[in-house]
Amino acid sequence: MAVGKARGTLADAVADYETRARRYFAFEAAEVKEEAFRRAGDAGRVRDEEGKRLLARVPAGAQVVALHETGKQWTSPQLAAYLADLAVQGSPGAAFLIGGAYGLSDEILARAPVKLTLSAMTLTHELARLVLTEQLYRAGTIQRGEPYHKGRD
């Protein structure tokens, strides 16, 4: 789930990897509206309002994974193992949450047992969504032993 829509050429790439990920997982992408008020000093309010929208879309029982700069960096095989563990546990799955321009709300960060970072650099929500969806697709290929992932890890 992400705040805002992917636009331009990134939108096509995101859509492609979302389609690919559906071959391996019960995958659903969701977008919530970006908060309109972005004046100086409103960052916390923007995060809170967008956070409420994101949390309202989290499926019942799904584990919240916050995409956040302070999160852990996982390898692709670690992500694949995490998703496999959820499946073995009979979990309803994971809800990966990508914040907007000001990031994720404190409420989301408190609720997320897993915090994940995709890079030490700051990424736009559109680029983060592309990287995440590609990694979800890659995780599916790793789980099935398909040749897409050529990493040594």
Residue 70 is part of a domain; what is its CATH number? 3.40.1280.10
For the chain, the domain total comes to: 1
Q: Looking at the domain assignment, is residue 148 inside a domain?
A: no
Q: Looking at the domain assignment, is residue 123 inside a domain?
A: yes
Structure tokens at 3: 């705040």
Q: Which residue, among 8, 112, 6, 105, has the nearest Cα to 62 in the 3D structure?
A: 112
Q: Looking at the domain assignment, is residue 117 inside a domain?
A: yes
Going by C-beta distance under 8 Å and a sequence separation of 6 or more, which residues neighbour residue 149? 76, 77, 138, 141, 142
Tens-binned pLDDT, residue by residue, of the chain (153 aa):
999 999 989 999 999 999 999 999 999 999 999 988 766 568 999 999 999 999 999 999 999 999 999 999 999 999 999 999 999 998 899 999 999 999 999 999 999 999 999 999 999 989 999 999 999 999 999 999 999 988 765
State the Cα angle at 97 between 126 and 128, rounded to 5°: 25
- In this structure, the dihedral spanned by the alpha carbons of residues 66, 67, 68 and 69, taken in order and rounded to 10 degrees, is 150
Structure tokens at 45: 């309010």
Output DSSP code: residue 124. -
State the Cα angle at 66 between 17 and 81, rounded to 5°: 60
Q: Looking at the domain assignment, is residue 83 inside a domain?
A: yes
Contact 113, 63 (CB under 8 A): yes
Residue 74 sits in which domain range?
A: 2-143
pLDDT confidence of residue 38: 63
Provide the whole-model pTM. Answer: 0.93
State the Cα angle at 27 between 59 and 21, rounded to 5°: 155
Kindly report the backbone phi and psi dihedral angles of residue 57, in degrees, each rounded to the nearest multiple of 5, phi listed first: -95, -5
